[in-house]
Chains A and B, each alone.
Chain A
């Protein structure tokens, strides 16, 4: 299983989660089977590039996205891309993976989506 976390930089497992999903500078992807860590720059529309961030992540083969919060449009896109989304994450990637494995994070729904994105 591959887990993706929107992150602030390229420090891998020690990197902090980004509070804003779409504008996260990087995405850190952890392959739980091999412990391989990959850092991807966010080159989506929010940084002058093209495409939605979920499009970027769908192409990496990620199975799960764990983040602090995200908008309803992004949730819809992940849903259709077959990527599960969990919200409420905080701290470093390492801490987040532990929290996720213990089942402490909540699955994203339209109700817990960030309201300010509903425009």
Chain B
């Protein structure tokens, strides 16, 4: 079973829920797909077992090129710029490539009539894997300055072990990286805080998941701050509240020193394993 943890708003507690849930279950795999800002490993202190590069195929132009411009015409992301030869200005033909814009689709090499485009690997990040106690753990890291998170997220998801309960920690928001992280999961837990900000982004996330036809429920974190609007919304939309985590000094202190509160407060280990029971039941009934 694959459970993704998403949120809409950032900083609501995705990592808190993902990592505490993982350490409260057996036969579990945790995948950190927030590759632009992975932080599950800060709580698990893993010893890296393997690091795999994540490469993107980018075009390299061969001498055979006659500057016809078909490749740049084809490229949706304008990663190629063809300078046609201009004898008047004494400008020789040239093709500029912008690897940072390239999505690696390979279309340019297919449309090139002269076979003048070869593809070469460009590394944009890594996927690390480790065993932390009983938890099988992998996390992606997109290199600083790289704009494309999705290829790294896909590489993290290639690690999915179908024999385990898989927990996917998604990035915040509702854009491509989130869609790719939650896609294919059996259930999505949306973590929110009971504030107008939390609610606004929760609504966007709920709409996204409904579009993707992924059953979902809500964990309210930092219960006690804000207002009642998240509850009113969930009631009206018939969205299940799976768990509430109070705005609690002890939890915050443990979090800030990188300690999982489910390992220190036994009632929370039980709460998280109960959460898994609720998720499993909801996913089956969906």
Contact = CB atoms under 8 A, between A and B. Distances in A.
Interface-central residue, B82, B83, B88, B100, by most chain A CB under 10 Å: B83
Contacts of A50: 73
Contact of A77 (B86, B96, B147): B96
Given A51-B72, A51-B73, A77-B96, A82 B86 contact: yes
**The 6 residue pairs across chains A and B that have the minimum distance between CB atoms:** A82-B89, A82-B91, A80-B83, A81-B83, A80-B94, A77-B81
A26 to B, nearest CB: 20
B78 interface: yes
Interface string A52-75: 101100110101000000000100
Contacts of B147: 119
Given A81-B86, A82-B91, 11 more contacts: A51-B73, A51-B78, A52-B78, A52-B81, A54-B81, A58-B86, A63-B89, A77-B81, A77-B96, A82-B86, A119-B100
A45 B88 CA distance: 27
28 contacts: A45-B78, A51-B78, A52-B81, A55-B72, A55-B81, A55-B82, A58-B83, A58-B86, A59-B84, A61-B88, A63-B89, A73-B98, A76-B96, A77-B81, A77-B83, A80-B81, A80-B83, A80-B91, A80-B94, A81-B83, A81-B86, A81-B91, A82-B86, A82-B89, A82-B90, A82-B91, A119-B100, A119-B147
Nearest to A50: B73
A110 to B, nearest CB: 15
Interface in B51-76: 72-73
Contacts, number: 36
Contacts of A59: 84
A62 B191 CA distance: 55
A119 B96 CA distance: 17
Interface-central residue, A50, A59, A63, A80, by most chain B CB under 10 Å: A80
Contacts of A73: 98
B103 to A, nearest CB: 14
Nearest to A54: B81
A76 B81 CA distance: 10
Contacts of B86: 58, 81-82
Nearest to A46: B78
